[in-house]
């Protein structure tokens, strides 16, 4: 399929393409690093699934000497809220067990980040923003704090900071930084989509009045937990289109002037033509890496016009987009990075452009 792009003038900036290294305010030094050692991919030890495995292992060990402190509910069936609830009574064995798993995950996260910091693309990184669904829990925040402590104990002068916005919103807010400001001039908002291994969220992001989009806010959003439905790929796209069309209708009714732009964050290595080169294995219902499938083209075909203008769709890796939500808070950094703790461990490193 032909690559969708906007060829701009020299004044407006470079060619806009999916998965671009050169973005309006930053250069993407790297994303989706895949570093292996003898035990496998290092990032696989510091994600949501790894925490569940660590928690389950501690429960098995505890049962050797008595009852399971967490009861009879299977580990995979415990919600984030239920796990956090065990941490409230700090003197209980249940709290101690969850803390043990949190500490183990914090150690794995610290080891993973220390390995990333050895890469050329991460040289000079002093601040790492941490997002993803696991960050939205007490256990997640404790694991981040544990990793910070261990990195400092190793003499690594790097700061870990939880992404400021809720992960559900951060994955939408970053979309405003995928295109240059001139493309959005005269509009109130854009549409954004965040595709994950468990959920898909679509939203309307109001741009605000500041040229750096520091006032951008999610105005309306809709969430679909596709993991509960296990849909095929075609059904997934159809439902996503319904979510977007519903948001377009709400914006029109409220008089919110939408730019004809949809920014998409999606797991995997994103090629310039919008295809997913690899890393889409956690996406629902089929082969998203097929040469016969192109998500931006599928969305543009289904939604050819927005506000009576041709639809322009721009897609990048989901960790890149979530990381971009931190741009207004990273103005003073030269090099910085972000990781997202979710179904996988997403990672990205940025270099700010001089202004």
Q: Are 319 and 342 in contact (CB under 8 A)?
A: no
Count Cβ neighbours within 10 Å for each residue of 144-161 and write b for 16 or more, e otherwise. bebbbebbeeeeeebebb
Q: Are 211 and 25 in contact (CB under 8 A)?
A: no
Q: Which domains does the chain have, with CATH numbers?
A: 36-160 (no CATH), 166-325 (3.30.420.40)
Q: Are 111 and 45 in contact (CB under 8 A)?
A: yes
Structure tokens at 2: 């032909």
In the DSSP assignment, the letter for residue 6 is: B
The predicted structure's pLDDT at residue 3:
42
Q: What angle do CA 136, 140, 145 make, to 5 degrees?
A: 125
Q: DSSP secondary structure string, 9-42? A: -TTT-S-B-TT-SB-SSEEEEEES---EETTEEG
The predicted structure's pLDDT at residue 10:
39
pTM for this predicted structure: 0.91
In the DSSP assignment, the letter for residue 200 is: E
Each residue's pLDDT, cut to its tens digit, for the chain (355 residues) gives: 344 444 443 344 556 899 999 999 999 999 999 898 888 889 899 999 999 999 999 999 999 999 999 999 999 999 999 999 999 998 999 999 999 999 999 999 999 999 999 999 999 999 999 999 899 999 999 999 999 999 999 999 999 999 999 988 999 999 999 999 999 999 999 999 999 878 899 999 999 988 889 999 999 999 988 777 777 888 899 999 999 999 999 999 999 999 999 999 999 999 999 999 887 777 877 788 877 889 999 999 999 999 999 999 999 999 999 999 999 999 899 999 999 998 889 999 999 997 6
């Amino acid at each position: 399929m032909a690559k969708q792009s906007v060829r701009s003038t020299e004044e407006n900036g470079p060619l806009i393409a999916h998965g671009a290294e050169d973005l309006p305010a930053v250069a993407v030094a790297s994303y989706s690093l895949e570093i292996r050692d003898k035990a496998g991919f290092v990032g696989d030890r510091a994600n949501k699934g790894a925490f569940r495995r660590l928690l389950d292992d501690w429960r098995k060990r505890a049962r050797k000497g008595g009852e399971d402190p967490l009861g009879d509910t299977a580990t995979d069936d415990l919600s984030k809220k239920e796990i956090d609830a065990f941490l409230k009574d700090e003197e209980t064995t249940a709290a101690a067990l969850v803390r043990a798993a949190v500490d183990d995950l914090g150690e794995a996260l610290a080891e993973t980040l220390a390995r990333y910091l050895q890469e050329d693309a991460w040289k000079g990184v002093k601040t790492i923003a941490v997002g993803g669904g696991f960050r939205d829990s007490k256990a997640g925040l404790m694991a981040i704090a544990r990793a910070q402590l261990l990195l400092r104990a190793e003499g690594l002068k790097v700061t870990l900071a939880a992404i400021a916005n809720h992960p559900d919103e951060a994955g939408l807010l970053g979309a405003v930084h995928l295109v240059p400001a001139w493309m959005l001039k005269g509009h109130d908002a854009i549409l954004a989509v965040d595709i994950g291994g468990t959920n898909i969220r679509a939203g309307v992001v109001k741009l605000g009045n500041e040229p750096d989009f520091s006032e951008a806010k999610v105005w309306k959003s809709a969430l679909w937990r596709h993991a509960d439905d296990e849909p095929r790929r075609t059904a997934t796209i159809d439902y996503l289109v319904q979510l977007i069309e519903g948001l377009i209708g709400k914006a029109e009714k409220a008089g919110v002037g939408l730019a004809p732009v949809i920014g998409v964050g999606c797991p995997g290595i994103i090629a310039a033509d919008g295809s997913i080169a690899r890393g889409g294995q956690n996406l629902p219902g089929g082969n998203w890496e097929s040469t016969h499938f192109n998500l931006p083209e599928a969305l543009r075909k289904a939604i050819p016009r927005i506000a009576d203008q041709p639809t322009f769709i721009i897609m990048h890796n989901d960790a890149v987009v979530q990381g971009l939500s931190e741009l207004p808070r990273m103005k003073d950094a030269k090099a910085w990075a972000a990781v997202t703790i979710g179904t996988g461990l997403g990672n990205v490193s940025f270099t700010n452009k001089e202004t």
